[in-house]
Structure 1
Amino acid sequence: MATTPTVVLLPVWGVGHLMSMLEAGKRLLAHSGRALSLTVLVIQPPTEQHASDLAAHVRREEASGLDVRFIHLPPVAPPTDFQGPEDFVSRFVQMHAAYVKAAIAALTSPVTSLVVDFFCTTIVDVARELAIPAYIYFTSNVAMLALFLRLPALHDEVPVEFEEMEGHVDVPGLPPVPPTCLPDPVMDKTSPNYTWFVYHGRRFPEFDGIIVNTVAELEQSVLAAIAVGKCTRGGDRGPPPPVVYPIGPVIPFIDATPEQQQQEPHECVRWLDAQPPGSVVFLCFGSGGCFEAQQAHEIAHGLERSGHRFLWVLRGPPAPGQRVPSDANFDELLPEGFLERTKDRGLVWPTRAPQKEILAHAAVGGFVTHCGWNSTLEALWHGVPMAPWPLYAEQHLNAFLLVAYLGVAVAMTFDRKRKNFVEAAELERAVKAMMGGESEEGRKARDKAAEMKAACRNAVEGGSSRAALQRLSEELQRGAVVVDVQK
């Protein structure tokens, strides 16, 4: 009979959520000195591509030799009448509640806690029924967490759509937030996606704590605002705010394993080896980022006119019946003659690329990014300044954070009503500002990025993030209970 107390993780299947939570769990495992184990409850993904990616991740973790075991929950028919990704994920997770309860109740190890992705707040009821502590793992930043906590009150305070309101949105700890910088799911109050965001924000304070993939030094004023109750309904007169544990940056596989070091370098990395230090602007837009020909042409013209070296990961729209971007067809997406004219200073890569290795390379001097939080943390870890080009989800708020709060990015203008369209001239300006030696805006972004690199590494190597992980580990080890299977 297993006796090592276990932390139960309930991730969602998206790679940006799944891998971050698993990596956080493994850090907790290592930090506890084998006083804890991990049990991961696996929701069967709704698509074949997600299922294939998940299976590969599980096989890799099972082969690692760590005290991590995976329990696959029974398959559930996904909802078909959903109106957006937030609506789909929240409802699909909710449909697994009985299976989550049964899986936890069947464990023979003492259970210290249930840690769930922030889309899984409905599962807090299962934890309460089983009398075990419940925590959220928040894959984004504290700014986004503050907005979630603030949203139930904002819903009542702002009776119109946010983009119709006068002035700015008040998120304590942040500069005034323009309504156009709010995440996609809150831009339409009639949408079930918005309703779910309000619901999740209302339930967050019911958890015993919130584990956040950020560094305290990056977002001190927002953390302080949450701690004194400014972000939760009722303010400092309401219920106590949730305890926040900033343990980031949690970046999967940030350091190459011995096996990876022995592998032949990727073609993109070999190309970078031939470029001068700090000379290349890197463009990459995440696992879901892709462009139609009109936008790809604008990018190409902007890069060509900028005069700077570039490494551009270009993906095309999903194939019929698919949800993930397709490999780029250069004949369809690029202007005639572009590759020939730029062959001496640019590389366009048509499929997935090793982003972490690229950002770590000395030749990279700037990053045009969709502002996914994992990508942002990778850039901060390596001290690379950014030009934000948000595409979906919470990325618009992340872009605001990078420019107006952290100061590590050069602002770039995009047309949100035209699917975040960016003109060639604007991309050219942003690249020149970020990469050029005479730009004051670029110099400040580079200096701040270097400061954030030091802050991130200090936090993990013995500073604030390590201390937060220590507090969390001690808290979980105190809370281990044997689940009563009769509940």
Structure 2
Amino acid sequence: MIHAELVFVPMPAKGHLVSMVEMAKLLVDRDPASMLPMDSHTNSLATSVATTRIRFINLPLENVDAKSFSHKSFAHFIEINKPRVKQAVAKLADLPGSTGTLAGFVLDMLCTTMIDLADEFGVPSYVFFASSAAFLGLMLHLQSLQDEHRVDIIEFKDSAGELDFLSFTNPLPSKLLPSLFLTNELVRPSLEHARRIRATRAIIINTFDELEPHAVRSLADLGAPAVYLVGPILNLTGETKKKADDSGEDNGNRLRRCVGSFDEDQVKEMARALERSGHRFLRSLRQPRPKGKVEILSDYMDPVEVLPEGFLDRMAGLGKVIGWAPQVAVLAQSGIGGFVSRCGWNSILESIWFGVVVATWPLYAEQQFHAFELVVELGLAVEIRMDCGRDSWMESDVVVIVVATADEIEGRIKNLMEGEEAGERRKKVKEVSEKSRKALAEGGSSYFVFRPFD
């Protein structure tokens, strides 16, 4: 039997790759697919995918250190690997187990220049957008401002003004625009992604209609091609326990989990705030990422060196400081009452799935934008900070400074955990959590909602 075969080209970053694999697993119930990852996570993912209908064709990197990519070098990396992807696709029909004809390319949102290859093979291209519908709307809006209205996007940098665009009902402070739109080196390729996305057959977005109804409806007016919502696409293999009904649990018994990497001064301020708050906590503490690099964070050999003197002794029985944490497994526990998050889109979807309220503390990329969407636009989170300095991934000359004091953080923790407002917010998040699960269930808004490959 002959099937149509899809080629998936993910971005070489684990957060993007994992969500694309999970989405592909849903699609291959209908048609086989080939995955062409260009990074080092392939082997473990291929082993974890219990299906013979996805073939992982690894394209090993040559003369490139994948752990030291900067955003500035990524576009060049994609370009130099185009011939290798083209060669691999041309050989697909000759591979053992091949049962189909090439039907199309499914490309990561940051691999849009690969559309050229789809055109060469005479097949359609689709974009898998691993971020929010609202962020897609922002990209399309900014691209339209520059191309059609001759607005210099970089002029928004350090502006005290606000930006109105269709995907939000609230104006977005210009200071919360992602750095990739505000630097000379990055704005051109970033807006080019938006132009390319407009030229695809369809956009597959990792969101669900009940979470972002306004943003989703706005995309047609922004000139987007067909849109298919397939979220929340999650990798729940780390889930160790189903989320329990917490309606009768005392908030004082809930844990507050904090993840991220900060400099030593900020780590100490955060520790003082945790101690003063009196709430139980689990603190995942990682070393800061080297400036200008995207390499994986590492644990401290001994966290005592960056914590206030005697902190661990005083917090014994109340809180715990660890290194890397299995985020999904932690969020699945019924005792988690709040999650301090950098606001990556995958983390947001995981928090919503398990009904955990987020306290926003974005660090880079579009995380500030997501924080604003959660807090102001959707009312599903509480802010610790949304206006951190420029991130070290995008701008290597940034000096990281203390952005929040212990007093400020303590107040936000109490806002997250205590009082009537916190209870109402928790109830609202739980309602959206239930909707996220229904969206993926049979008959739900994301259940086989799209048929772009027919």
1:161 to 147, 155, 165: 155
Structure 2 CA distance, aligned partners of 1:93 and 1:13? 10
Match of 1:331 in 2: 304
Deviation at 1:312, TM superposition (A): 0.8
- In the alignment, residue 429 of structure 1 is paired with which amino acid? G
Deviation at 1:254, TM superposition (A): 5.3
1:185 to 174, 180, 185: 180
The answer to whether structure 1 residue 57 and structure 2 residue 51 are counterparts is no
| Residue deviations 1:105-155 (CA, integer Å, cap 9, x gap) | 222221221101111110101111111111011111101111111121233
Structure 1 CA distance, aligned partners of 2:14 and 2:417? 31
Match of 1:70 in 2: 56
Structure 1 CA distance, aligned partners of 2:294 and 2:110? 23
Deviation at 1:159, TM superposition (A): 5.7
2:412 to 430, 433, 437: 430
Structure 2 residues not aligned, in runs of 5+: 94-99, 244-248, 390-399
Contact 1:276-1:363 within 8 A present in 2 as well: no
Match of 2:202 in 1: 209
SS in 2 for 1:300: helix
Deviation at 1:9, TM superposition (A): 0.5
Contact 2:267-2:306 within 8 A present in 1 as well: yes
List structure 1 segments (4+ residues) > 4 angstroms apart after TM superposition.
Answer: 275-278, 318-322
Q: Label 1:443 to 1:463 Cα distance change in 2 as closer, same or farther (>3 A).
A: farther
The answer to whether structure 1 residue 103 and structure 2 residue 80 are counterparts is no
Alignment of 1:32-51 (within 5 A): 32=30, 36-43=31-38, 45=39, 51=40
The alignment's TM-score, normalised by the length of structure 1, stands at 0.81
Aligned residues: 426
Alignment of 1:199-348 (within 5 A): 199-227=192-220, 229=221, 231-232=222-223, 241-253=224-236, 256=239, 279-285=253-259, 289-318=260-289, 323-328=295-300, 329-348=302-321
SS in 2 for 1:114: strand
Q: Label 1:428 to 1:281 Cα distance change in 2 as closer, same or farther (>3 A).
A: farther
- In the alignment, residue 378 of structure 2 is paired with which amino acid? L
Structure 1 CA distance, aligned partners of 2:153 and 2:267? 39
- In the alignment, residue 210 of structure 1 is paired with which amino acid? I
The answer to whether structure 1 residue 198 and structure 2 residue 191 are counterparts is yes
| Residue deviations 1:53-105 (CA, integer Å, cap 9, x gap) | 433223333xx24311111236444499x9x8332222211222222222222
Alignment RMSD: 2.7
Structure 1 CA distance, aligned partners of 2:112 and 2:11? 12
Contact 2:134-2:215 within 8 A present in 1 as well: yes
Match of 1:471 in 2: 450
Q: Label 1:434 to 1:74 Cα distance change in 2 as closer, same or farther (>3 A).
A: closer
SS in 1 for 2:103: strand
Structure 2 CA distance, aligned partners of 1:426 and 1:353? 25
Greater share of residues in helix: 1
The alignment's TM-score, normalised by the length of structure 2, stands at 0.87
- In the alignment, residue 94 of structure 1 is paired with which amino acid? E
SS in 2 for 1:5: strand
Structure 2 CA distance, aligned partners of 1:385 and 1:27? 28
Match of 1:172 in 2: 166
Structure 2 CA distance, aligned partners of 1:413 and 1:41? 38
Q: Label 1:338 to 1:9 Cα distance change in 2 as closer, same or farther (>3 A).
A: same
Match of 2:397 in 1: none
Structure 1 CA distance, aligned partners of 2:269 and 2:362? 16
SS in 1 for 2:86: helix
Deviation at 1:414, TM superposition (A): 5.7
- In the alignment, residue 367 of structure 1 is paired with which amino acid? F
SS in 2 for 1:200: helix
Match of 1:265 in 2: none
Match of 2:365 in 1: 393
Match of 2:329 in 1: 357
